[in-house]
Amino acid sequence: MTDVDWLNYSLSDFLMFGPEVFLRLFVRINQDFWPLQGIAVVIMLLIAGCVVRGDTLAKRAILLLLAAAWGWSGAGFLMDYYGPINSPATWFGWAFILQAALLTVAALVWPWDGSAAHSARRWQAGAGWLVMTALLPLLVVGQSGNWYAVALFGLTPDVTVAASVPCLLLLPRQVRWLFLLLPLLWCLFSVATLWTLGTRLMLILPAVTLAVTVVGFWFSPRPVQSRG
């Protein structure tokens, strides 16, 4: 029995699929879930509206809506579509469901204060988040050349994680790390996978999200108090 020389292996040796098969997953989930994509759009609009509102109830609602998105993308895309061709995706699927549970607990029990930024800043944040979350799915379209491959928030993990990280900055820094740990691990996994597949355009999203997540461990927003 000979020893295995792991140095002779590359990441591509551990992937049992190519970029065409991976991109086809996005088309399949959109075909299978149609017309439930409308629910994802509604969740996006509700989160943006809650960011604009900015009060305690709105903050709780944001976390509950994020929980729904994490649970949906974990149980759907990761476990039912991605997992059968890439076994670590199934483990991440369970982790996404756990993250959804943690977000739900935080939404229901965390003692939020009533602080909020000025009205103009909340509108800018809400609109900026909505535009970002609406445009990010087009990266997969650009990579595949197929509009049916659009990667919506709530259905697919990369966009769900990228859109969630700015919202998670609402959490106090002393507990935020618990909610940013999975985004950090997912982005590392996604960057490695997409780099190996050669899908460079799609690689932009988890790479930028990874950088924002790392900054998020130390960033402490200081909203200006306002009733407006």
pLDDT tens-digit map of 115-138: 666 777 889 989 999 999 999 999
Range 83-96 average pLDDT: 96
Contact 228, 119 (CB under 8 A): yes
pLDDT value at 4 more than 70: no
Distance CA 129, CA 207 (A): 18
Residue 1, pLDDT score:
45
Q: Which residues are 156's β-sheet partners?
A: 153
Residue 13, pLDDT score:
53
pTM score of the predicted model: 0.89
Residue 217, pLDDT score:
83
**Burial (0-12, 13-18, 19+ Cβ within 10 Å), 151:** buried
pLDDT tens-digit map of 33-76: 999 999 999 999 999 999 999 888 999 999 999 999 999 999 99
Distance CA 65, CA 44 (A): 9
Q: Which residues of 75-94 are buried (b: 16+ CB within 10 A; e: fewer)?
A: ebbbbbbbbeebeebbebbe
Residue 21: count of CB within 10 angstroms of its CB: 13
Residue 200, pLDDT score:
92
Output the CA angle 130-138-216, nearest 5 degrees. 50
Which range of 49-53, 123-127, 158-162, 174-178 scores highest in mean pLDDT? It is: 158-162
Residue 110, pLDDT score:
79
- 37-53 vs 157-168: helix axis angle to the nearest 10? 10
Q: Which residues are 153's β-sheet partners?
A: 156
pLDDT value at 160 more than 60: yes
DSSP state of 76: I
pLDDT value at 9 more than 70: no
Report H helices in the chain.
19-33, 37-53, 56-73, 87-109, 119-135, 138-144, 157-168, 173-197, 200-216
